[in-house]
Chains A and B, each alone.
Chain A
Amino acid sequence: MILTLAFRNLFHDRIRLAVTLVGILFSIVLVAIQLGMYLGSSRMITSMIERSNSDLWITAFGAKSFEEGGILLTSRERHQALATPGVKAVVPLVVAFAEWRKPEGGSTRVVLVGTDAEDGALEPWSLVSGTWQDIKSPDAISADDTYFRELGINGIGDTAQIAMGRVKVKALTHRIRSFTQSPYVFTTLSRARSLLGAESDKATFYLVQLEPGANLETVRHELLTRLDGAEVLTKNEFEDRSLRQWLFRTGAGLALIGGALLGILVGTVIVAQTLYSSTKDHLNEFATLRALGSSSGYIYKVILAQAGLSAVIGYVLGILISLGILYISRNTPLPLVMTPGLAGALFGLTLFMSAVSAISAIIKVTRIDPATVFNR
Chain B
Amino acid sequence: MAQKAQSEELSKDARQPMSKNILITGVSQGLGLAIARAVLAEGCTVSGVSRRLSGHYAALQEKHGSRARFHAFDLSRTDDIKTELFDKFLPLETPLHGLVNNAAVAYDDLVSNLDGARLRALFEVNVFAPMVITKQAIRSMLLHRVAGSLVHISSVSVHTGYKGLAMYASTKGALEAFSKNTAREWGERGIRSNCVVAGFMETAMSGTLTPAQKEKIYQRTALKRATAPGSVAAAVCYLLGEGAASVTGQNLVVDSGTI
Q: Decide whether A and B assemble into one complex.
A: no
- B interface residues, Cβ below 8 angstroms from A: none
